[in-house]
Structure 1
Amino acid sequence: MSSSIKGVSPRQYDAQPAMDYPDYRSTILRHPKHKLVAVPQTLGDVTGPAFGDMALGQYDSDLIVNYAASGQSAIGERIVVNGQVLDEAARPVPHALIEVWQANAGGRYRHKNDSYLAPLDPNFGGCGRCVTDAEGRYQFRTIKPGPYPWPNGGNDWRPAHIHFSIFGSGFAQRLITQMYFEGDPHIAICPIVQSINDARAVDQLTARLDMSNSIPMDLRAYRFDLVLRGPSSTLFENKLEGN
């Protein structure tokens, strides 16, 4: 993001991961070879469509039951993830559509191309969505995902994580990131995470235990706030050039 835009803080490029990071083998083949080109948004990109609560189903934000058979629920550690979406001035961002997807408690995705040996949970689909309220707050119930191996360096494992997609006023305004869990030992040794050369940026991707919002005898809560832009912006993997 250019520092010449009045009222908007410059993007901190030093905090961004290298596009070509050898320890993360996939970047060798798919990192961009040319300079980024800015594509101006059209009026249609900026003005709509608008998202609202009416488009959501009753259980869209409850991954514990939204794919389960009647009377059943997903297997695993029950958690609630909550937080706030903010702009660079710490102002809440209301009515933003958030979509999440994740692996199950065993570390396996419900996807035909996932060949990990961990079993599928017939009562867990692994995806959900919600809309932030007037104060930019969001919340969803889910199962804590498990770590899983991936064919990168022979014995690399992804930390437990949840993918987030945040939309603006339309589908052309989309930011994507991942949320990790504090205390996970795989964070320090994951090549994808370690491609981020700023410890503060990694810390901003790590959810904190939030006992104040935990439900006794039911589930623990984790807090994960998202900052959309500015020097304190959450690192978004599809907008490394700035958002």
Structure 2
Amino acid sequence: MVQTLAYLKETPSQTAGPYVHIGCTPNFSGISGIFETDLGSGPLANEQARGERITIRGFVYDGLGSPLKDALVEIWQADADGLYNSPAETRGRADPNFFGWGRQPGDMQTGEFVFHTVKPGRTPFRPNDPRLMAPHILFWIVARGINIGLQTRMYFSDEEAANAEDPVLARIEHRQRVRTLIGAREGETVRFDIHLQGENETVFFDM
């Protein structure tokens, strides 16, 4: 007889602690011989990935406006055609040369994180829903002092029409805060800074 697990309780959350880089990015931490490269070192599987190449650069700022130097940032995104490299994509249409996931620690001296990826396409809002979301990239942030990983999105400043139609952006009540989710496009570079607290606090999502 299978024993019920209904009595199990959720354990308390803990901060990422000072060892998150050792466990998630050992090569970055100077520990070699475990992985040839750190997992998630790039969303691009190889140079054959389809789409427009972009470089995302940014900082994670604390409430005082200082960049965190021990943050770990992950991104999740669709490929250039708006398809995810996921088991849910059963038709095999997603770009096999694009992972759609990346993980980068911030530079230990400056705190800047950098991702080399492709600009994603528009994706459906929900199954059987005709609405499309604007091109966007999901961000997940952990660092010492953050009990639960924070999740947010980055949209693109050169997609004003698509952003205006996006059903997720439309749900943000305080419209002046939408700007905290817009990455500033400058040629191939997109600047996206994440503010944990303060006047410019980024919108975070409970997902």
Structure 1 residue 191 displacement after superposition: 1.8
What's the offset of the Cα at 1:54?
2.7
TM, length-normalised to structure 2 = 0.78
Partner of 1:194, secondary structure, is: helix
Shift of residue 230, structure 1, vs aligned partner: 2.2
In structure 1, the partner of 2:104 is: 130
Structure 2 unpaired stretches of 5+ = 1-9, 29-36
> 2:131 & 2:88 partners in 1: Cα distance?
18
- The answer for the alignment partner of 1:179 in structure 2 is 154
- Whether the aligned pair in 1 keeps the contact of 2:72 and 2:103 (CA below 8 Å) is yes
2:16–2:146 contact (8 Å) kept in structure 1: no
Q: 1:46 to 1:106 in 2, by over 3 A?
A: closer
Structure 1 unaligned regions, length at least 5: 1-38, 212-219
Take 1:229 and 1:156, find their aligned partners in 2: how far apart are those partners? 32
76, 82, 88: which one pairs with 2:57? 82
Identical columns (%): 30
Question: For residue 175 of structure 2, what is the aligned residue in structure 1?
Answer: 199
| TM-score (normalised: structure 1) | 0.67
d(CA) in 2 for partners of 1:179, 1:74: 21
Q: Which runs of 4+ in 1 moved over 6 A?
A: none
| Pairing of 1:188-227 with structure 2 (within 5 A) | 188-211=164-187, 220-227=188-195
On the 8 A contact 2:27/2:38 being kept in 1, the answer is no
Deviations 1:169-211 (A, max 9, x none): 3884310001000131121122211100223211110001134
Aligned length: 185
Superposition deviation, residue 136 in structure 1? 1.7
SS in 1 for 2:76: strand
1:62 aligned onto 2:58: no
Deviation at 1:59, TM superposition (A): 7.8
